[in-house]
Amino acid sequence: MKTLIIEMIEPKRLGELVTVSREFCEQPDMVAVGAGQIPGSFGKAYQVADTVAANLVSDLASLILKEGYEIVLLTASTLGSGIAAPLSVKLSAPVVSEVIGIKPDLVVERPLYGGKAVATYKLNKMPAILTIRRKYFEAADLQGFTDSSPLSIAEKKVALIAEKEEKTEGIPLEDAEVIVSGGRGIGAAENFTMLQDVADLLNGAVGASRGAVDEGWVQPTQQVGQTGKIVAPGVYFAIGISGASQHLAGIANAKCVVAINKDEEANIFKRARFGIVSDYKKIVPVLIETLKEEA
């Protein structure tokens, strides 16, 4: 099946989509969004400098029709969600978002009800548009580079004024083997320094629940969960996090969850491998001391 990937030049995201594309074709084509060289080997590659989804939809639709693409793959991301739904209406195409599984014969799976259920769909028409949830498919190793031809944009609906990168010191959440996450139970922004200490000592990254983000204690880029980062670390510390299904949806692929919560009934213990029923303020400082002693 003729497959088109639409993605920013970000090797891991792109690599995951390449893995997914192999379910449909040998070599996909690619629209690279943004500047830079395109890593990996694609049949044809196009490149567009404009990174605002709303400006791309029309010309992407024309390209898909002209070239006869049957499967269109995007990451479930800000860019992907900005493109997928409007594109589906333009093309009268089916769209399934947050896909976590691909089966033969155009059957795909996605979670609903905050990950408490999984739905299986059969796509009955092509082109079909899929946004793929991160960390469910191993990223393909992208060898070499592909030359691209420019994709021009006819109508600029929305202007990009500025972009701001949130500085992450150390390892990005998505790549961390150890994540130390805090929730509303952490109680104050400054208490997150304790979690940072643990993360530093274990060469990990600090994450958070939506509860902590809503309180303004941490940046939204640190939110873990179905509407935050999808992560797959070796160890995930959930500290002062109740374990709502929407949070757990972001750590489905974590190997080992360590929960520290003062409520023994907290749902997080149902997902945890190791549980500590305690006020985190009694345990975490001691954990830091022990790690320092052992270092």
Partner 1 sequence: MHIVVLAKVVPDYEVPAGDFELTNSRAHSRYKRMMGLYDENAIESGVQLKEKYSASLTIVSYGIKADIQVLRKAVAMGGEKLSLVLGGSDDPNVIAANLKMAVEKLEDVDLILAGQQSADMDRGIVHGMLAEMLGFAFIPQVAKIEQEDGQWKVIQNTESGSSELKFGGKAVLSITSVPENVPRIPVVRSIFAAKKKPVVQLPEIEGDAMPVDELSVDIPKMESVCEFLPTEDDPAETAKILLGRLREERLI
Ligand X SMILES: Cc1cc2nc3c(=O)[nH]c(=O)nc-3n(C[C@H](O)[C@H](O)[C@H](O)COP(=O)(O)OP(=O)(O)OC[C@H]3O[C@@H](n4cnc5c(N)ncnc54)[C@H](O)[C@@H]3O)c2cc1C
CA dihedral (143, 87, 58, 63) positive or negative: positive
The DSSP result for 3-27, as a single string, is EEEEEES-HHHHHHHHHHHTTT-SS
Piece in contact with partner 1 (CB under 8 A), picked from 17-25, 34-42, 138-146, 239-247: 239-247
Nearest to 227 by CA among 102, 77, 54: 77
250 binds, among partner 1, ligand X, none (CB under 5 to 8 A by kind): ligand X
Q: Is 62 one of the binding residues for partner 1 (CB under 8 A)? A: no
User: CB-wise, 29 or 132, nearer to partner 1?
Assistant: 132
Shortest distance, CB of residue 195 to partner 1, whole angstroms?
15
Of the residues 154, 159, 188, 295, which one makes contact with partner 1 according to CB under 8 A: 159
Number of residues that make up the chain: 295
Shortest distance, CB of residue 256 to partner 1, whole angstroms?
5
Cα 283 to Cα 280: distance, rounded to the nearest angstrom: 5
Piece in contact with ligand X (CB under 6 A), picked from 32-40, 85-93, 105-113, 237-245: 237-245
Bond preceding residue 127 cis, omega within 30 of 0 = yes
Q: Is 275 one of the binding residues for partner 1 (CB under 8 A)? A: yes
Cα 201 to Cα 183: distance, rounded to the nearest angstrom: 20
Write the CA distances from 64 to 1, 76, 109, 259, integer angstroms.
Answer: 13, 19, 24, 47
37 binds, among ligand X, partner 1, none (CB under 5 to 8 A by kind): none
User: In this structure, how many other beta carbons lie within 10 angstroms of the beta carbon of residue 59?
Assistant: 18
> Which pair of structure tokens corresponds to residue 230?
């999808």
Q: Is 295 one of the binding residues for partner 1 (CB under 8 A)? A: no
Shortest distance, CB of residue 252 to ligand X, whole angstroms?
12
Q: Is 272 one of the binding residues for partner 1 (CB under 8 A)? A: yes
194 binds, among partner 1, ligand X, none (CB under 5 to 8 A by kind): none
Cα 257 to Cα 6: distance, rounded to the nearest angstrom: 34
Cα 128 to Cα 4: distance, rounded to the nearest angstrom: 10
User: CB-wise, 51 or 168, nearer to ligand X?
Assistant: 168
> Which pair of structure tokens corresponds to residue 19?
């893995």
Q: Is 158 one of the binding residues for partner 1 (CB under 8 A)? A: yes
Q: Is 164 one of the binding residues for partner 1 (CB under 8 A)? A: yes
Shortest distance, CB of residue 44 to partner 1, whole angstroms?
26
User: CB-wise, 68 or 216, nearer to ligand X?
Assistant: 216
Q: Is 221 one of the binding residues for ligand X (CB under 6 A)? A: no
Cα 127 to Cα 62: distance, rounded to the nearest angstrom: 12
13: phi then psi, degrees, rounded to nearest 5: -60, -45
User: CB-wise, 106 or 205, nearer to ligand X?
Assistant: 205
Piece in contact with partner 1 (CB under 8 A), picked from 16-24, 31-39, 71-79, 144-152: 71-79
Q: Is 70 one of the binding residues for partner 1 (CB under 8 A)? A: no
> How many angstroms separate the most distant Cα atoms in the chain?
64
